[in-house]
Amino acid sequence: MRTGRARHARLTTAALAVGTLLVGCGLDGPGPLDSRTTAVSPEPTLDTSDLVLPSDGGPPEMAAVLTPSVADATGGIPVSAAGVGVAGEGDVVVDLYFDFICPYCGLLDQVNAADLEALVAEGGVTVVYHPVALLDHYSEGTAYSTRAVNAVAVVAEMEPEYVPAFINLLLAEGIQPPEGTPGLSDPQIAQIAQIVGVSSAVTDEFTSTVDFQGTRLRVFVPWTVAATALLPVDPDSGSWGTPTLLVNGEQFGGTPDQDWKQPGSLRAAVEAARG
């Protein structure tokens, strides 16, 4: 418990430092979650041709795309006491599906990140992060969700130990951009990654491209599209969206005793499942 709380406190401090740094560099950062009335200053027109997969034929199968080596077949990145990319045998599995511009995804992380980190450190729990790009249409044409997921995938491939902290900081209050804005710029995303320890050699790859079926795309854009297509449908409502939270494959939330917005609720459910 202490380890997760201390890490969370350090990330919160880093988030405030990043916000100051971005403004100091002339890159206006977003405001906190509860005061999202000031839009991020528009970036110069962004060429998104390397971020948009041709729509013919629908999303690619996961087996047909380049995948981060630590990711699983569902588009998730497992994190257990054994490390990033390793699902613990017999562990309670917590699946988190989230979009980096989704405000409730940010809230879920802010409320529960420290608990989840502590549970993983204690053993017997694997958290599987599923970053998806469901809400690109809320970032004023910059494909922010896709850009952020691609950056996380690059880190997962090259310096996977920083994935949880990078995700936490991208979703931190005061850093996560509000819907209806261009989101963070590519240099801002890189700055945030470097704050948690990612090397510049890795962040330089955030905008690298490869050929995919005749189109130049950022390296993990096809994986992002394939992973987003695997977002599970809520069996009760028949709909899908973010955040989606599963504990051992079962939807968590929607009842008084399963309210992830209440501190400790998710932790208690995971501890009960772990026994």
118 vs 43, 55, 67, 171, 249, CA distance in Å?
Answer: 38, 41, 28, 18, 21
Kindly state the tokens that stand for 212. Answer: 């995919």
Distance CA 109, CA 186 (A): 22
Q: Is the pLDDT of residue 267 over 60?
A: yes
pTM: 0.87
Per DSSP, 262 falls in state S
Residue 45's pLDDT band (cuts 50, 70, 90): low
pLDDT at residue 218 in the model: 98
pLDDT at residue 113 in the model: 97
The runs of H, that is alpha helices, within the chain are 2-24, 103-122, 144-158, 163-170, 186-195, 200-203, 221-228, 265-274
Q: Are 123 and 81 in contact (CB under 8 A)?
A: yes
pLDDT digits (tens, 9 = 90+) for 49-90: 999 988 777 899 999 999 999 999 999 999 999 999 999 999
96 vs 218, 246, 273, CA distance in Å?
Answer: 24, 7, 17
Domains of the chain (ranges, CATH numbers) = 49-270 (3.40.30.10)
